[in-house]
A = this chain, B = another copy of it.
Amino acid sequence: MSWLDEVPWNEHGLIAAIAQDGSSDRILTLAWMNRDALQKTVESGEAVYWSRSRKKLWRKGEESGHVQKVLEVRLDCDADAVLLRVEQAGGIACHTGRESCFFRKLENGRWVTVDPVLKDPALIYRK
């Protein structure tokens, strides 16, 4: 898999992965991938990340159903990030029930929540 060898994994074996919505062009998430995650993402066509807190592979949407179907994968010039264009299931990427994880905006020296909750997380994550 030579394309995987061209990725200069950092000292933790990871690369940053930005997910951008293929319809709205919004940035949805920044997460991390190891080699296995990137390979599984490309093979399966759905985003798989490396959870740094849980230290395991994390198929995006495995609990919430909010999978990210991958439309395109790009690599940046110094190869320290990949960019996924995705089709976001449910239109919700964030565990708070919002479209994007970037829902806080700096306004006059304060981080202000500016995006609405589209679905109650209690409904997203109930068993």
The residues of A with any CB-CB pair to B shorter than 8 Å are 1-3, 6, 16, 18, 20, 25, 27, 29-30, 42, 72-78, 80-81, 83, 94-96, 98, 101-106, 109-111
Contacts and interface: CB of A to CB of B under 8 A. Distances in A.
19 contacts: A1-B109, A2-B110, A3-B106, A16-B16, A16-B30, A25-B25, A27-B83, A29-B76, A30-B81, A73-B105, A75-B106, A75-B111, A76-B102, A77-B95, A77-B96, A77-B98, A77-B103, A78-B101, A81-B102
A109 B1 CA distance: 8
A106 B42 contact: yes
Number of copies: 2
Contacts of A16: 16, 30
A89 B110 CA distance: 27
B111 A6 contact: yes
Contacts of A77: 94-96, 98, 101, 103-104
Contacts of A104: 74-77
A77 B110 CA distance: 15
A74 B105 contact: yes
Nearest to A53: B78
A109 B3 contact: yes
